[in-house]
Structure 1
Amino acid sequence: MILEVNNITKRFGGLVAVDDVTFSVREREIFGIIGPNGAGKTTLFNVITGFYKPDKGRIIFQGNDITGKKPNEIAKMGLLRTWQIVRPFLGMKVIDNLLVPMYVKKGIIGGITEREAIERANEILEFVGLSHRRDFLAEALPQGERKRLEIARALASEPKLLMLDEPAGGLTPTEMDEVMDVVRKLRESGITVVVIEHNMRVVMGICERIMALNFGRKIAEGTPEEIGRNEEVIKAYLGERFHVGG
């Protein structure tokens, strides 16, 4: 297991946003997290990546206890995340959006040469299908390409595990397919992926296992087929149209 999340609880005053959640992720797996709005999905992401400290529980990444570590420390270890609302440097060129995190990761002096950084940035842009936008300003990109740029910016920091917060949110069906292709390529390249996503076509199409949350608690975990048949998940989130079989 590359990631082990053990009995995590996070409270905000009297609200229990994440309630005793436990799960683990295998190396080179695409693991999905679903649930209705307010289920605690993004709060769980924020706890794992160090933006919130848990009130209870432990997080183990590659055998190391990262509970309570700062986001930059966790990122340096290779656990990175994207955001539901993408955050590119809008006034910078697409390629420069990748060079910034690359220099931060490597260190501007002595870590990576400019030539090496540009070569690597071009490789990443090719990987996510944005090489033709290399010299465009990020603000000129449509939403689907901004989503892929967000993934590319994370790749510039060399993740071992990448956590994607609604990568297909607000996209057209064609743009969703493009993002799904990128996520599959991430796994093929050796990167483990954990994804929050509301679009069930995306979740069922790319994830090997899925965990469902409701009111901060884990209510189910299993393959897409098992989740699609789980009565509690259907009642809480999916609806009858996903009920397969008796």
Structure 2
Amino acid sequence: MNGEFQGLGAVVTGGASGIGLATALHLAERGARVACLDLKIDELPEPLHGVVADVTDDATVRAGIEDAVAWLGRLDILVNNAGIGAVGTVEDNADDEWHRVLDVNVVGMVRVSRAALPHLRRSEHAAIVNTCSIAAHAGLPDRALYSASKGAVQALTAAMAADHVREGIRVCCVNPGTADTPWIRRLLARAADPDAELAALKARQPTGRLVSAEEVAAAIGYLASPLAGATTGTVLAVDGGMHGLRLRPAT
């Protein structure tokens, strides 16, 4: 299909499900060739190209990027979406869990970006979009570790944008609110009252509903698009107004 991404090559990490899959399909529908890096790629739909890679392993990341670029023929867009969740206060997660989540959510982005940068430097439309979270700037209960990791992602995004702007590489991040993803559905399934928990999650977003994966994908698509060539270092909230709106109680 013709679109603003026609002829461009994109890599999406965590691209086999949730926001990553929605983003990969969004880019492909608008003309990009898209390779998805993930731990499991068995059910990846066409026309997406799957590459098995673990963002906590530098060797598989480098091999995965090379595999992806060989298939794509070029690399113009990197979407750093792979990430994991964590629940609890600072008392609830052991050191090993802190290291594991930070390794995936923060250092994983570093590994993938590091491997992709030599290829992105050859593009006239180079862009990196990191998937961050409302948790980077809003205090949420029982999300200490997750929030710390996403706060680091937001700061990392700004630093990368400054480092690479003169190389013609734009770097931005998207901050979803509570999105309807497989991880959220697993959390709900473990809740004492899943229906009540879902209602509470919906209620804390001014729109009164969860964010869809497709809405986040559209925001990522905007930030990655050659049409957004003057946009870098930007944090784009897709959170149903959760960050900026302060509504009066409903009557």
Q: Output the TM-score relative to the length of structure 2.
A: 0.34
Higher strand fraction (1 or 2): 1
Higher relative contact order (CA 8 A, sep 6+): 1
Higher helix fraction (1 or 2): 2
